[in-house]
Amino acid sequence: MKKALPIILLIVMAVCLTSCDPETLGSFMGKMGQNFYGLKANMKDVNKATEKIDNSVTDNGDGTVSIDLDVAAKVIDDIGKIKASEGKTEEFQKQLAEPVSEDNGAAVQVALQSEIQNVIDDVLPNPATIEDPKAKDIVEKVSAALEEAKAGISENPTRAELVTVAVISNMANLAQEIAANPAMLDNVEDQVRVVDAGLSSLDTLKMVSEYAGLSLVDGIDFSALLEDLGKGAEISRADEDDAIKYVAMAADNVRTLIAMLTKDGVVNDIKYSSVLSQAKATRHSFELMAVPYIKGNRTDLADLDQILSNKNIKKGLSTDDFVLYFESLILTELDKDDLKAFVNTHYAKLIDLEHYAEDEQMASDLEDLFDDAKDIIKHKDDGKYTAWNSMGTLAVLLVKTNLKDTIFKIADVESFSAFIDEL
């Protein structure tokens, strides 16, 4: 009996535990996950980074401020340590969301806009004077990103905005260097520097930019998708109607994007410019990372096939990065006024996509909108593909994200040039 008693007690305990309310059990389990010592991550790196940003702003004492973008850009060096820690990332993003100046936001706005103009006027060369097509493309893109950034500075700029501008102006310095000496892209050491600059700019933007931190495909229900497409490895092109259903599953993220663009139900010009500058900066970071690998005469698509067999391209980016570049490509190539009109017209449906995903009028307007964007993939002008850098970046990303075989299998092609032609 003495030995039987503990066994009986154990059985009773086991029954109680298994029939315990999951909510209560989950709550108890969650409490055990709190750190008993109350220890939190060391925020030294975060505070150091924030201090750098604050040190780039000087109060002139006469109601104006001066901003040194080169100083703010030094925060790029700290991003690596911060992004490896979820706790630090969260704290850093919280500090980034705070305004640069509590009581003189207008002066900061003016100073930022002035600094951006200085970069456009004094740092970037006139694209018309640049012969090398790669260098010309880089300068044009950075210039466009800066113009949008200038138009998108809010009335009380946050640290995040300041850092985004600093990152773009940092890219402008590199663009100037490339424009002055395009041959540097053939030099291995400089290639590494350019690739690193692209990747570190991208890391920084993902940290500081609300746009770059958004993933439009997150939230799509795998299980329903797989059920509709059929189990197993054979994936065929999805039926368009079914596909829209899955687009609706990204409704939450679409709502977030729409909120970033609009105010009181209509597109706000300043907010739109801000998002566009972030998208352009993001796109340009990817293209900067890819530019040393894109070689060829910029007329023959087969040159892009060579990229996919380039062993120097190291893997290391994720599917999320491929999606982010694709999103940025589309967003930055869409006609600005057309996109504004689309969002304004269909605002109510876009923020309730779960119920309006199959709205025919919206689908038709979206089709018209994307007809513009598809040209950036296949644009030909006198036999030359003017979207060479974009196509090349897609090719590089297929290698870096290890998606080449999968995408080719789905598209039923055997080369990148065939993939582009198929579109």
Partner 1 sequence: MKKFIISALIILMVCTAVFAETQEKVVYDEGDYALNFAFQPTLSRYNAMGQSGLALQTRLDSFFSNPAVLGKNGFAMSIPSVSVTLYNLEKIVSDPESVELYKKITGGSASDSETVKFATKLLSNLGTGRNLVATIDVGAAMKLGIFGFGTNAQVKLHGLNNGTSIGSQSIIPEINVAQTVAFGLRLIDTSALSLSAGASVHAVYKTYMQGIDAATAANFIGGSDVTTTLLWNTPTMAGYAIPFDLGVNIGFLDDVITLSATANNINGIYYMKSYSALGDVVNKISKKAATPPEGYEALDSESFKIKTPWSLNFGFAFAPDVPVLNPVLTADLVDMFELCKSFGSWIKDKENSDFRASDLLLHLNLGAEIGVFDIVTLRGGINRGYLSLGAGLWLPFMQVEASYGWQEFGNQIGDKPVDSLTIKFSLGYDKK
Spatial distance between the Cα atoms of 42 and 44, rounded to a whole number of angstroms: 6
For partner 1, the closer of residues 106 and 260 by Cβ is 260
Residue closer to partner 1, measured from CB, 5 or 188 = 5
Q: Which is nearer to partner 1, 1 or 128 (CB)?
A: 1
36/38 Cα distance (integer angstroms): 5
In whole angstroms, give the CA distance from residue 72 to residue 61. 21
* Nearest to partner 1 of 110, 407 (CB atom): 407
- Minimum Å gap between C-beta 99 and partner 1 is 26
SS3 label, residue 58: strand
Smallest distance from partner 1 to CB 401, Å: 9
Closer to partner 1 by Cβ: residue 113 or 215 = 215
The residue type of 144 is A
Residue 276 in tokens: 């566009």
Q: How far is the CB of 230 from partner 1 (least distance, A)?
A: 10
Q: How far is the CB of 101 from partner 1 (least distance, A)?
A: 28
Q: Which is nearer to partner 1, 258 or 373 (CB)?
A: 373
Closer to partner 1 by Cβ: residue 67 or 212: 212
Within a 13 Å sphere around the CA of 288, how many CA atoms are in the beta-carbon half? 34
CB 271 within 8 A of CB 118: no
Residues 6+ apart with CB under 8 A from 403: 319, 322, 397
Compute the least distance from the CB of residue 258 to partner 1, in Å. 18
Q: In angstroms, what is the minimal distance from the CB of 145 to partner 1? A: 23
The helix/strand/coil state of 171 is: helix
Minimum Å distance from CB 389 to partner 1?
A: 19
DSSP-derived secondary structure for 44-107: HHHHHHHHHHHHTEEE-SSS-EEE-HHHHHTTHHHHHHHHT-HHHHHHHHHHHTSBS-SS-HHH
Instruction: Report d(CA 330, CA 252) in Å as an integer.
Output: 19
In the chain, what is the straight-line distance between the N-terminal and C-terminal CA atoms, in Å? 78
What φ, ψ does residue 264 adopt, rounded to 5°? Answer: 55, 40
